Structure formats: C-alpha cells, structure tokens
Structure 1
Amino acid sequence: MPLSYDTAPTGPDDRGDADAAVVDLLVRTYPPELVDAAIAACGRTERRRRLLPARRMVYFVLAMAAFSPAPYLDVMRRLESGLRRAGLSQPGPSAGKAAIFQARERLGSGPLEVLFRDSALPGTEAGTGEAPAPRHWSAPPHHSAPHWRGRTLHLLAEQRTAASRHTSPTPRLTVTGLLDGGTGEVVDAVWDASGAPATLLRSVGPDTLLVVQGPAPDHALAAAAAARGTGVAWRLPTARLPLQPERRLEDGSFLVRPRGVPLRVIGAGLVTTLLDPSLAPADELLAATDAVPDGRLLGAALLAAGPDAAPLTSRTAEGVDQELYGRLLVHNARRRAADLAAFACGPCPGAR
C-alpha cells in the first residue's frame, strides 16, 4: 500500500513519523544536489559556515508550505527532525525566530524560482516554443501527458490567494497557473501580472490544446495563441458572448468575432479558437476538455497543506515570491508522489 503524506497523526509518535514522511518526500523530490545547483545559479552559495545555510533555508521554505500554518520555530523543529532521520543534519544549536527571518531574506526568492523551473515537467523553452534545454530532473518513464488529436493537453487556471496586509494594500494576489493535463503539476505560474494568460504561452508549444477554466475568453490570449498555432478552449458555466453569430456551422456550433478575433462557440459552455469542425469535432472537444484536471487544483497548490492552511505571511514582495514558489514546489512533489504511487499500484482503487 503506498505511503500517504496527508494522513493526520493521532499521537506524538505518529506525528513524528508523518513529519519525517513529508521531509523525506521533499528531499527525494528535490535532492540536495538539485537544491545546491539552484542556489549556485543565483549566487547564494555561502563563503563561510552559517547556522542556517542556504540549502537548509530552501528546505525550510518548503517545510513552511508543507506544515502551514505552523509557526516558524515549530516548522524548523519538525524540519530538523526529518532531516536528521534522512541523515542530512546533525544536532546543533537552535536558531531563533530573528535568525530565521534574516536567513530567509538572505536566500531571496531566486533559488526557489530556479528550483521550480528546473524541476517542472518538460514543456517548451520559455519564449521560444522550442524543445526545452535539459533539466536536472526528468519525468518518470511512465509519465505521458494526455493528448487529443496530436495536441498535448494543459490546463490554465486562476486563483486568488490571501496575502499579509503588511505586504501591500491589495489583500489578495491573483495567481495564474499552467498545469500539466495528466498529473496536475504546475508547470509555470505568474502572479499579479497583466496579460498573465498570454505570458504562459511561453511554456507550451504550438501542438497544444490549452484548456482555460475560470476567466471569460481573453482576446489577447486568443490572438497570441492563434498566431503560434496553439489551440485554446475556455470552459464556462454558460457561453456568454453578447454577439450575434457570424456563421452557423454544420455541427451546430457557430462563429463569433469579438474585437476582430474569430472564436467558435460550442454548446454546454465551450468557446474555442479551433474553428474547423472537421479538425475539432464538438463532441470530441467537449470530452477532451472534461478529461483535464479540475482548476481547483491550483487552489490546492497555493494552500499547500489543505483547507486549514494560513494565508501568505510574508511582509515583502520578495518574501511573497519565495513563499508562493515554495507552495507550488510542495504541490508538485505531492502530485508526483501520487502519480508514481498510482503507477506502482496499477489499477488498484483509490490510487489517484
């Protein structure tokens, strides 16, 4: 039976075992050599021995997400216990809260961002549409993103997450994420950025069907996707386009042209940039968009630990970036573990 990382502990020993399992998952998914490479890429490698070295702080940020909403000192205690079990830490002086704050600031968000991008499932090289450069991590041999008519399926979703009132006058951040259509891992993400959906086209190729859940059709995204050959399909509660059909098609769908961008409206609340019914039959397209993960997975990624997780606590923009990358990395580790467990378990019930 596969090990569960989300089982609630029932006593001190159970909690210690559960904490160790979480830390073990993080270390196996993001091993020290991968973490050290991300730190070095950002010039954060220490020149002198510190109580809280950069590698330890990367794992601390991940533990913050995994153990949220536990306070700093509790997170550090649970992390250290797990690292000792993994043979990556030795007993030593305990760090205080102020030292942990300073070490987080010293680390910055760069290593977490590099770790996120270097460990993401292979996509396309940002901004090029070409095959990606080699990653430090490669997808398990069994992983194959779902396809429809030769197009890889990805999900694009938006989520608003609560931020510390000390960070900015905006109490919530809008995070736009690109999720793998098979595992539900977050491949790319941006937050509080104008034109965010179109920006995430950098991580998909032209032979992609991008399923968008949540926001209404984005004309900038539609135009940018059409220019590069990427298909987009918006799943909406209802197809609400206040336009008269430009032309009805033989399968019952119809074309509209909001702001000069041609779109095809299919019943049951689906709007797409794929205009030819012979190449994208309505019933097949509906089935394909229903097969991708639910967009609420992005919300689960940002909460990281579940419905009891605290909002973002960082008081600086750099800290918010660091914290968000940490939560995305923990989500991806859990999705990857679930994917591997399902593969090992085969058709056993409840694996996914």
Structure 2
Amino acid sequence: MSRQSARSALARAISTVTSTTRTAAGVFAPGHLGELTQIIPFEMVDEVLAEAGTVERRLRDLPSRVVVYLLLAAGLFAGLGYRQVWARLVSGLAVPGVAPSSSALAQARRRVGVAPLKALFELLAGPSAGALRWRGLLVCAMDGTTMSVPDSPANLTRYGHQSGSHGGSGYPLVRLLAVVVCGTRTLLAATFGPFKTGETSYAPALFSCLHPGMILLADRNFAVKSLITAIAGTGADLLIRCKAGRALPRLATLPDGSWASVLGGVPIRVIDAHLTITLSGSSRRTVHYRLITSLLDQRRYPARDLVVLYHQRWEIETVYLELKSTILGGRVLRARTPQGVDQEIYALLTAYQVLRLAMADATAACPAITDDRASFSIALHTARDQIIRAAGILAGTTIDLLGRIGRAVLAAPLPARRARISPRIVKRAISKHRAKGQVDRTNHRAAITTEILTQPQLTAAASP
C-alpha cells in the first residue's frame, strides 16, 4: 500500500466527535458548575446576590454570579489556587477569554462577601426525597469537628490555637458543628466559629432545623439538661448517649429492660446495654452504652431496636471524612482572613450539599442500591470532569434525570457496608515516635450481640 493510500484509509477510519456546550453568554460564560449547575441554576445565584445587595452596579469582567460559581468550584478543587480553578471553568468553553490576575480574583471575592454564600447554603440545606426514615421518623445526627486555617495574624486572633502537651495545633482551628440526614448524608444545618467556643455552645444555633417527625442522634457531649430541653421544645425526638455514671432517677422499670426517668424536665427512657463484638479470630470485646431517648413507647420503640438505630450516628463522622479527607485531602483552607474563611467554608458546604443531592437523586432512581453504597469519590471526580468539560450546564430538550454523575455512581456501587469494629484512632502521625498500642488491620468477620441490662429494683436519686 502506498503512503497516499495509507493516509486515505486512515482518514476514512477516523471518526469526528463534536460536542455542543450550552452556557451563559459573554462574560457570564465562566459562571457554572458543570452538571451541578442544574441544581444551582443561574436564577438561584442571582436571587441570593440580589438579596445580599452584592450584584455589580456595572457589568464587569468578573460579574458577581461568576465569582460565586468560582468559589463553589474551588470547594471541589480544594488542592488548587483560584487561578487554576478559573482555568478549569473556562477550559471547556469555545472562547475561554483572558485569565484574570490573582489580585483581580481576590478583589472580586471580597466584593461578593459572605452573605450570598451563606444564603445559598441555607437555601439548599435540607433532606432529599429519599432520606432514611425509621418508624416514620427522619433520622438525623449532630456532631462537631475542626478545620485548619492559614496561620495569619487575623486568623490567629479570631480562631486561636488548640493547646496541648505536644505544643498544640500547628494552625488556627475553626470549630464546625452540623446536623446531617443519615443515609443520604445531606446537610440540614451548620454553624462554625472560633475553636475556643465549645460544641454545646454552638448547638442551639442548629435547632431551628428540627421539627416533629425527626429523631436526632448525638454523642455523650450533648447529653446536657439545657440542650435536652431545647431539642424537646422543637417537637423532634432524641436518642443521645450519656455517661454511664450519670445520676438519673429510676421512676419505673419497663418490660423491654429500659427504665423511665426525667432530665431537664423532659420525660425520657434510659437504656443500659452491653455490646459484645466477637471477631473471627476469637477476639472479643464488650462495651457499655447508656442511651437516653424521648421515645417513651417501649412497645413501638423497643430498647434493642434503639441500640441498633444509634449506630447510624456514625454517618456524620463519614460526612466529616468526606469533607476533610476526600475533598480537602487534609489540607489547610486557603483564606487568610476571617471573612474569607467564612466565605470558603460556606462554599465548601454548599458544594458538598449539591453533590450529595445529585447522589441521592441517583440512588432514589435505583432502589436496589442504598444510599450508603453510593461512592462519594466517584461522584466527586465525575463532577470535576463535568466542570472541566463545561458539560451539562443547561438542560437540553431531553430531560436527563440521572446525568453523568448519577450514572457513574450507579455503575460502580460500593459493596454492602460491613460492621465497624476498629476503635477511633488518629492515623496521621503527630510524633516521630510510634504511637502506643497496635492497630489490627486484618479484615475479620464480626458478630455483634446486644444485651439490655435490667435492674428491676427502684433506686432513689437526686432530681436532675
């Protein structure tokens, strides 16, 4: 075959693939979040900007709407600077335009401020259509975590360090507290501020998201009289672990082994249980749990079932893992001012929420795959790809209910969830010396048995 014939054959074999990108016009074109733009459409962003009074008075090269999408995209590309995030927003556009300087992007972020990002998060926060319910109750969990911010004088003054025997934290810390929906792991509410303020002080700011038909799970830190009273006042039920030595009056022992009591003026049931974990290697460990609940009907809500339900509290720990490890990769936030930190955290929470909503829509369309089998990593990487390609920004004439993100999640579901048997431990080294104790990384089959502890005799105790 001659060289000319070979070229002709190759030309016939090559197929041309073209794609059409539908975006906003002109200087607004870089303002998108790929396929996730359909969850946060242009009209929604324009509305929060108008309410905050931060819409530009004259058309700029960096309109406020574009800056909001830049901040949201930066939440998904946490390892990149803002100029690199901008490069990804325009990489799939037909006419990328001129890249703004770092100072121009910084001025634009300051111009937009915190209020639009906060309003956007509050607008999107809430359960998805397929959220987990237990006996008709929406199951939610509340807990706190910390996030590191740059060690600038302004951040240090606002947030402060964590003190400790090893010199404390290397960076100022923000304390974040949230309420999440178990199962779909969508966010209901969040608040944050200086590390020196404790979780129990931040908690009341979240209770506005609670209402009848919900049950809130929380750990021992939140078993406080004032918080129990406040939660009960919202109409929501609660299931909270408390310290085993907590003095609570035993008013009556119920047939399921739980007993009636009162805390902060709220009637409660107390459940004492031993959980025994037996591994395939014959290893065995028993832990004691004391739970308090406002669900007083022991026939409808047996003690053993409530102990099993409490395991769902771990869902919020998974949310923080996805935020701090999967998205941030353990990195420090970018902003060097408190206002920038607030803006960045709200953008991060909003980006996480829309990604979770897209995943929930996908699993709702496929009942065979439960929410906890949807891979967050796959959804995150697919969303990043869609931003780079500027794909799926505007819905076409044919409505795609799943989208590429949903199809990617359903194509590779995670295996069924195994029982968690390992204790909580810091895996990231904080010292050059080996940590005390050995961590068994072997995969064991685990059997968990629950024993409800009964004490039929009545005991007197001080009034709570």
Fold shared, TM-score > 0.5 on shorter chain: yes
Q: Does the CA-based 8 Å contact 1:266-1:282 persist in structure 2?
A: yes
Equivalent position amino acid for 2:413 in 1: A
Q: Does the CA-based 8 Å contact 2:48-2:116 persist in structure 1?
A: yes
Match of 1:210 among 216, 232, 242: 216
Q: Does the CA-based 8 Å contact 1:246-1:255 persist in structure 2?
A: yes
Q: 1:48: which partner in 2?
A: 58
Pairing 1:159–2:145 present: yes
Q: Provide the C-alpha distance between the structure 2 equivalents of 1:286 and 1:76, rounded to a whole number of angstroms.
A: 48
SS at match of 1:23: coil
1:182-226 Cα shifts (integer Å, max 9, x gaps): 411111101136632222110121222111147341322201122
Pairing 1:168–2:172 present: no
> What TM-score, normalized by structure 2, do the two folds share?
0.60
SS at match of 1:198: helix
Instruction: Provide closer, same or farther for how the CA distance between residues 27 and 229 of structure 1 changes in structure 2, counting only shifts above 3 A.
Output: closer
Instruction: Provide closer, same or farther for how the CA distance between residues 314 and 200 of structure 1 changes in structure 2, counting only shifts above 3 A.
Output: same
Q: Provide the C-alpha distance between the structure 1 equivalents of 2:314 and 2:46, rounded to a whole number of angstroms.
A: 32
Q: Provide the C-alpha distance between the structure 2 equivalents of 1:256 and 1:331, rounded to a whole number of angstroms.
A: 40
Aligned length: 306
Please list, as runs of the form range in 1=range in 2, the aligned pairs for 1:19-168 lying within 5 A after superposition.
23-82=33-92, 84=93, 90-121=95-126, 143-166=129-152, 167-168=155-156
The CA deviation at 1:161 is 1.2
Please, which moves more after superposition, 293-302 or 91-100?
293-302
Q: Does the CA-based 8 Å contact 1:233-1:273 persist in structure 2?
A: yes
Q: 1:196: which partner in 2?
A: 202
Q: 1:321: which partner in 2?
A: 342
Q: Does the CA-based 8 Å contact 2:189-2:206 persist in structure 1?
A: yes
Q: Provide the C-alpha distance between the structure 2 equivalents of 1:67 and 1:231, rounded to a whole number of angstroms.
A: 38
Q: Provide the C-alpha distance between the structure 2 equivalents of 1:117 and 1:244, rounded to a whole number of angstroms.
A: 38
Q: Does the CA-based 8 Å contact 1:178-1:187 persist in structure 2?
A: yes
Q: 2:253: which partner in 1?
A: 249
Equivalent position amino acid for 1:202 in 2: S
Which one has a bigger Cα radius of gyration?
2
Instruction: Provide closer, same or farther for how the CA distance between residues 52 and 152 of structure 1 changes in structure 2, counting only shifts above 3 A.
Output: same
Quote the RMSD (CA, aligned, Å): 2.8
The CA deviation at 1:110 is 0.8
Q: Does the CA-based 8 Å contact 1:112-1:326 persist in structure 2?
A: yes
Q: 1:265: which partner in 2?
A: 270
Q: Does the CA-based 8 Å contact 1:195-1:220 persist in structure 2?
A: no
Match of 2:231 among 225, 228, 248: 225
> What TM-score, normalized by structure 1, do the two folds share?
0.77
Q: Provide the C-alpha distance between the structure 2 equivalents of 1:95 and 1:214, rounded to a whole number of angstroms.
A: 49
Q: 1:351: which partner in 2?
A: 413
SS at match of 1:295: helix
The CA deviation at 1:341 is 2.2
Q: 2:188: which partner in 1?
A: 187
Instruction: Provide closer, same or farther for how the CA distance between residues 189 and 59 of structure 1 changes in structure 2, counting only shifts above 3 A.
Output: same
SS at match of 1:176: strand
Instruction: Provide closer, same or farther for how the CA distance between residues 257 and 148 of structure 1 changes in structure 2, counting only shifts above 3 A.
Output: same
Equivalent position amino acid for 2:188 in 1: V
Please, which moves more after superposition, 250-259 or 282-291?
250-259
Instruction: Provide closer, same or farther for how the CA distance between residues 340 and 164 of structure 1 changes in structure 2, counting only shifts above 3 A.
Output: same
SS at match of 1:246: coil
1:260-300 Cα shifts (integer Å, max 9, x gaps): 66553323423323345345321232233334661223314
Please, which moves more after superposition, 163-172 or 260-269?
260-269
Structure 1 stretches lacking a partner, 5+ long: 1-19, 123-138
Q: Does the CA-based 8 Å contact 1:211-1:289 persist in structure 2?
A: yes
Q: Does the CA-based 8 Å contact 1:113-1:322 persist in structure 2?
A: yes
Give me the identity figure in percent: 29
Instruction: Provide closer, same or farther for how the CA distance between residues 215 and 302 of structure 1 changes in structure 2, counting only shifts above 3 A.
Output: farther
The CA deviation at 1:344 is 3.4
Structure 2 stretches lacking a partner, 5+ long: 1-29, 161-171, 274-288, 374-411, 415-464
Q: Does the CA-based 8 Å contact 1:65-1:304 persist in structure 2?
A: no
Please list, as runs of the form range in 1=range in 2, the aligned pairs for 1:278-297 lying within 5 A after superposition.
278-291=299-312, 294-297=315-318
The CA deviation at 1:67 is 0.5
1:50-88 Cα shifts (integer Å, max 9, x gaps): 121111111111111101121221111112225x27xxx
Q: 1:6: which partner in 2?
A: none
